Amino acid sequence: MNLLPTELTEDELRLQSEVRSFLEDRLPAGSYPVQLGIGGCDPAFSRDLARKGWVGMAISPEYGGHGRSAVDRLVVVEQLLARGAPVAYHWIADRQSGPMIERHGSEAQKQQLLPGIAGGELSFSIGMSEPGSGSDLASLRSRAQWRGDRWVLNGTKTWTTGAAQATHILGLFRTSEDRHGGLTQFVVGCDTPGLTISPIVFIDGSSEFCEVSFEDVELADEHRLGETGAGWAQNTGELVLERGGVDRWMSMFPVIEHWAGRLAADDSVAQSDLGTITARMWALRGLSLSIARLVDEGKSPVTEAAMVKELATGWEADCVRLVARHLGRAPDPTSPDPWERLLARAVLVSPSWTIRGGTNEILRSVVAKGLARR
């Protein structure tokens, strides 16, 4: 076991209260449609947040970022998620693509893309899964072929969240038949000819999910991210950022907060359920914070991050049940009460929480292998 407890420093506590007051002012209750987790696309909000220095926090100042720690970023995003703030526009770029480009990109790519990410101007989507490649990602068939002076991309990416509003897609393509060593990442502008983005209607009727098809999409070599064939390794290293964070277990927070504020004083069953939820979330927070601290120490706790995501997403989905059972009826997705609509969506979408970002089955294999190496 590698995880040790940690506490917030004075500076981190100051940041926390600064974020709180900013959000109370910028997002007063009732002024915005509350989201479950990282839904809700509002470029203006993303830019306002960026002006506070809270987008692209991990990016170096020389590229327009803020060189802040993983713990600082956790402190900011937990306040955003607790309010169901509309963070989707900048989310992927802030969490994954920005740090990935800074670590593996060319100097020109860093100068061209990172200031826009840190400014909340650019929105990224991740193009990994394909119709035939989900959990077995290394089997992907979308191809990038070098034609002497340019790359030509063909194939289909799917479950590409947010592609319809993104400015860029960071996609993983096959550049040789070597299973893991034949994969390469490319940064593709969404306005590139040959690229077609089609929304897929999600189970709750929303359309953030997309299919992205590439038909003879031509790219200059400067769109390649890192070495040819290094795409798999680049992604493996970033999984800690994607899996260990608080965003994996905070989707229900606004709904729980709303519900908790209205419990009858004599409803001890509901109070008991709220206590169960609160205890679990308090405990998960300790794990996520500790993972962020390890990342700041230069470590890569991949096994721990997978362990936390697997546990947390299961508990998060369980929260939906614990809250929904007190409504007294099946929640109505068309209810005039926005909270009931949100709960209805949660019931529908919660099975996706243990699928996205690595299914729990895959995560258990990752953890088991990691533990066996100890």
Partner 1 sequence: MTASPDPDLAAGVREFFAGSAAEAAADFDRSGRFPRELWAAAEQLGLTLVAVDESGGGSGGSLTDQLTVLVTAARYAAPLPLAETALAAYLLASAGVPVPKGPLTVAPVNTFRLDDDQLRGTARDVPWAGAAGLVVALATDDDGRSRVVAVDPSGYEREDGTDPAGLPRDRLTVEATAVINADTELTAADLRARGALLRTGQMAGALEAIHLLTSRYVGERVQFGRPIGRFQAVQAHTVAIAQAAEITAMSTWRAAAIAARRPARFEAFAAKLVANESARTAVRAAHQAHGAIGMTREYPLHLHTRRLNAWQHEFGTERELSSAIGAAVAPGSFSRSVSDHDPDIEVP
| Residue placing its CB nearer to partner 1 in the complex, 230 or 260 | 260
Closest approach of Cβ 65 to partner 1, in Å? 24
The pair of structure tokens assigned to 224 is: 């390649």
Cα–Cα distance measured from residue 219 to residue 278, given in angstroms and rounded to the nearest whole number: 49
Q: For residue 159, what are its two tokens? A: 């479950």
Quick one: 278 or 335, whose CB is closer to partner 1?
A: 278
- Cα distances from 44 to residues 47, 48, 121, 165, 324, in angstroms, run 5, 6, 9, 13, 33
With b for 16 or more beta-carbon neighbours within 10 A and e for fewer, the 138-165 pattern comes to: eebebbbeeeeeebbbbbbbbbbbbbbe
Beta bridge partners of 311: none
Chain positions contacting partner 1, by CB under 8 A: 1, 3-9, 13, 16, 78-79, 82, 253, 256-257, 260-263, 265, 268, 270-276, 278-287, 290, 304, 307, 310-311, 361, 364-365, 367-368, 371-372
Identity of the residue numbered 12: E
Report the nearest approach of partner 1 to the CB of residue 279 (Å). Answer: 4
Could you tell me the smallest distance in angstroms from the CB atom of residue 54 to partner 1? Answer: 15
Least distance (Å) between residue 106 CB and partner 1: 38
d(CA 210, CA 195): 12
**CA-based nearest residue to 75, from 50, 101, 57:** 57
Q: How near is the Cβ of 87 to partner 1 at its closest, in Å?
A: 15
Tell me 97's DSSP state: I
Which of residues 283 and 330 has its CB atom nearest to partner 1 in the complex? 283
C-beta of 3 vs 230, nearer to partner 1: 3
* Identity of residue 189: G
Q: Which CB, 203 or 283, lies closer to partner 1?
A: 283
Kindly state the smallest distance separating residue 173's Cβ from partner 1, in Å: 29
For residue 111 the two structure tokens come to: 């100068």
Whether residue 125 contacts residue 91, with contact meaning beta carbons closer than 8 Å, is answered with no
Residue closer to partner 1, measured from CB, 262 or 299: 262
Burial of 350 (0-12, 13-18, 19+ CB in 10 A): buried
Backbone angles phi, psi at 108, to 5 degrees: -65, -40
Complex with partner 1: residue 163 or 305, whichever CB lies closer: 305
Query: What is the C-alpha R_g of the chain?
Result: 21
Q: Where are the alpha helices (DSSP H) in 209-330?
A: 231-243, 253-260, 268-296, 302-324
Complex with partner 1: residue 135 or 196, whichever CB lies closer: 135
Min dist. Cβ of residue 324 to partner 1 (A): 16
Least separation in angstroms between residue 283's CB and partner 1 is 4
Rounded to a whole number of angstroms, the minimum distance from the CB of residue 201 to partner 1 is 31
Burial of 370 (0-12, 13-18, 19+ CB in 10 A): middle
**Of 143 and 364, which CB lies nearer to partner 1 in the complex structure?**
364
